[in-house]
Every structure is written in structure tokens, then in C-alpha cells.
Amino acid sequence: MTIKRIALITPPYHSGVVESAGTWLNVGFVYIAGALRAAGYEVDYYDAMSLWHKWPDIQKRIEDFRPDVVATTAYTASIVDGVKLLAFAKHINPRIVTVIGNVHATFCYDELLKYDRAAIDYIVRGEGEETLPELLTCLNAGADPKKVPGVAFWRDGGVVVTPKRPYIQNLDSLATAWDLVEWPIYTYRAKNNARLAIVSSSRGCQQKCSFCSQQLFWSQTWRARSAENFVAELELLHGTYGVEVAMLADEIPTFDRERWVRILDLMIERQVPVKLLMETRVDDIIRDADIMDKYREGGVEHIYVGVEAGSQATLDLFKKNTEVAQSKQAIDLINGADIVSETSFVLGMPDDTPESIAETVELAKYYNPDMGFFLAIAPWPYAELYPELEPYVATRDYRKYNLVEPVLKPKNMTLEELERELGKASQKFFMHKFQHLHELTPWKQEFMLSVLDLLINHSYLAGQMKVAMKEGGKEMPREVMELMRTVKSHGKMAQYAVPPIP
């Protein structure tokens, strides 16, 4: 068998979390597809998840393309469906070679190959742009894949693991396959369904957060594309594909201040009409207090910073390397620049109680982000914190490890009680925000009304928010309640499109 055609397929997993704000493309596949094409392979970029395709749709796509290889990517919550997808491909054609990669497979390859080796031929560990083409070229040559760094597979009754492949240092050199993306499906609901791209300006994270997968995946390293290369890509995406909003997939895009300032300067000089959504560290925002206006002028419209916890003891347990007071300072800086601020709080730890969760909600109100989310901790089986949390793990169903469904049982709460308290936390926080809607700038008021539409009509919080609307009617300003009723009745608020930041 000669390998010529590779289908890159996302698992059809849905949790109601990421889908609420928009439809997000898989930027990893853009790079993998680019690398495969550069190596001479024909590629089908197939985002079955974002297309909301069912198994008959997936079968037709596979049969129409007739791939020699089906490769998928899976984080922990989607790993079950990722394995199911590869087994499905084998059922369609047993000669198909199957490959899986991403964070979960990188660390849990032993478990996957022990229990799911009938579906999985090869696991790519770490970055795949060099590993996957090299693996396929090796197979075509009839050579031993044991010589390919960065893979794992089953042979002779056991798992074979090859040495770790070094990280790619020159990110500017990576080929991309933006032309394979099915662009019309990728939209950002909060900005009147603007066309949305996911982009990457850097890779890695040098932090040591004990609950996180990224610092493990990247071995606490960080590399970046040049400012010129990245901004040129944004110009290409806008000019060729009509992209209006881009979300940075980076963990810490602002890590190198000099480079980040150069990006902002280029965005301003070239008047790039793409708005940026991003995540960064609390301490980087504090460091950049003197240039927050430049963030805004450079097109940064929305910043997420991970507060994660309200107590210093929990922050220290998480190894966040920040102080509680710094989180408030960073959010104030983002708000002061008239940029949308967002944060989250990780709840459901062993010592959590309804009272401690209620205290976290009050702290969230004090921090005053535009959006605050209360997430159930997901005990990744490969994270540093896992041994400490393992005694409290209530389910091994990875599909529930999505930050919404509780999988850790606190000492003094049932899972049902925890889920109820998480819902109440969101109710209380967002009702508080809408009671103070008049305190925001006009464009933020309109943005928050778009958020309200998402919460009520498109998110996993829809049920709780509708209850909160009903219960909170006496506390809401009359004009806000009228708007909320409009949202509930019509299921959309297109008239509240977010105006661009100048």
C-alpha cells in the first residue's frame, strides 16, 4: 500500500461550551495540512465537529475522499469520540492507517494503546508538523517506524515509544493550508456573526500551573513567530478569506514585550482591520499598564486572564505565581482601556462548599470583569495536581472532563449539589452585571447584550439564565428587563452588533 491521501478529521464531540460564542476552526490542522502538502501528500481538512456532522455524513466524506490515512486530534474530553472516529474509519476500510495526536494522546499513549489499539495504529506525541510526514514517508518506504522520533505504537504485545522530537524552533518557516478551510461556517456570534479565524503567534508556556496541560505539553518552553510574519498572516486572512475577528490560540502571546509591542505597532501602522481576542497572564497586563491604549488601538477587543481562584492558598496550590490583588489590578487595567475583560474561576475542589463558592461569586463581582465563568475543575490524568485530586475523582468518563460537568466530588457536597451551585454562581454573577449595565461604555453595553443573547439562547447556561431572569425581575432596571424579554422571545439580537473599536 502506498500512502498518498490523508484525511484530517476532528471528532464530532460537543459539550455546549465553546459552541456558545461561535464556531472555532482547528488551527493545528491548518499547520499539519500545510506540512503534509509540502511533503507531497493530498489532504482533506474536515472539521466534522464544527460542521455538526453525524456518523453517516462522516462516512460519506471518507468514502468520497478515499483516504489512505485518517488522522484525528483529541483533547481529554473528546478522546472517546476521537477513538470512535478511528474505529469507524477502520470499519469503512480496514486498510486505512489511523493516527491520533494532541495533548491527551501525548501523555496517555500507554492507556490508549493498551485498550484501543484495534482502532489506533499510531500516536503522534508533541508537535506533528515534522513527525506525521516523516512517519508516512517511513511507512511508504517499508522502513521501521521505530526510527521516527515522537511516535508510539503497539508491537509484539507491548507499547513502543520513540524518543521525544525536539520542538520546532523556526515557526515562521511552517507551511499553512488556509485554502482548505471551509470558511463560511466559522463565525463569531458576539460580533454579528463576523468571520472568525483561530491563529497562533507563539507556542508554549513557561509557567508551572499544576492543573494545566500546556506547561507539560510544551515542557515550559516558549517560541514565537516574528511580528512581521504574524501580522502579514492577519492581512492575508482578511484580504483573501474575509476574516474580521481572530482569536489567538497562544497561552501567553505577550510574553516577549518587545515583540508584542512590534505586533501592535504593525497593526496600527498597516491599519489591519482584524479585531483580536486573546488570553494572557495577569502579570503581563500589569507589566503593560503603560501601553493598554496601544492594545486597544492595535485591535485588541477582548482579553481573558486566568484568575482561577479567589484564595491565595488555592492560587499557591495551582502554582499560578500570582497574588489575589494582582488579578483585580489586571482586570481594572483592561476595563480602563475599554477592552472586554473576561476571567474564570476553577471550582469543585475537595474542600469547596456552597459557602466557599458563594464567597468566590462575591469576589468575582469585586474583580468586576465583563464576563466571569465558574468552571468545574477537570483533573487531567497527566497533570501534576492529579495525584492529590485522584481520591475525589467520581467518574472516569472522559467525555465529562469539559469544565462544565463536575467530575470531582468535594468532601461535603454531592456532584448534583456542586453542579447546582456552579449554575447559581453564573446566575448571580451575570444578573449583577446586567443590574450595572448602565455603568459600561455604550459599545460595551451593546456587547453585553449580545452576550446575554448567547447565554440565554446558545450556551450550556441557558436553563440557569432563564430561571435567573424570571427570579430577578424585581431587581433589574425596567429597560434591561425589556431587552432581556426581547432576547428570550426572538432568540437573537442581531440589532445589537458590536461596533468596531477605533
DSSP string, 141-187: TT--GGGSTTEEEEETTEEEEPPPPPPPS-GGG----GGGS-GGG-E
Note the pLDDT of residue 313.
Answer: 54
Note the pLDDT of residue 497.
Answer: 36
Note the pLDDT of residue 434.
Answer: 87
Considering the domain 171-430 in this protein, what is its CATH number?
3.20.20.70
Overall residue count recorded for the chain in this entry: 502
Note the pLDDT of residue 29.
Answer: 97
Side chain identity at 267, as an amino acid letter? Answer: M
Taking CA atoms, 361 is separated from 314, 344, 373, in Å, by 15, 11, 10
Note the pLDDT of residue 314.
Answer: 52
Quick one: fold of 5-161?
Answer: Rossmann fold (3.40.50)
Domain ranges of the chain: 5-161, 171-430
Note the pLDDT of residue 480.
Answer: 57
Note the pLDDT of residue 499.
Answer: 32
Q: How far apart are CA 46 and CA 29, in angstroms?
A: 9
Cα 483 → chain centroid: 30
Note the pLDDT of residue 191.
Answer: 85
Spans in the chain with pLDDT lower than 50: 315-318, 320, 490-502
CB 302 within 8 A of CB 188: no
pTM: 0.89
Note the pLDDT of residue 41.
Answer: 98
CB 340 within 8 A of CB 295: no
Taking CA atoms, 397 is separated from 79, 80, 117, 233, 401, in Å, by 10, 9, 19, 39, 7
Q: How far apart are CA 153 and CA 75, in angstroms?
A: 19
Which grid cell is 47? 472539521
Using the Cα atoms of residue 481, residue 483, residue 485 and residue 491 in order, give the sign of their dihedral. Answer: negative
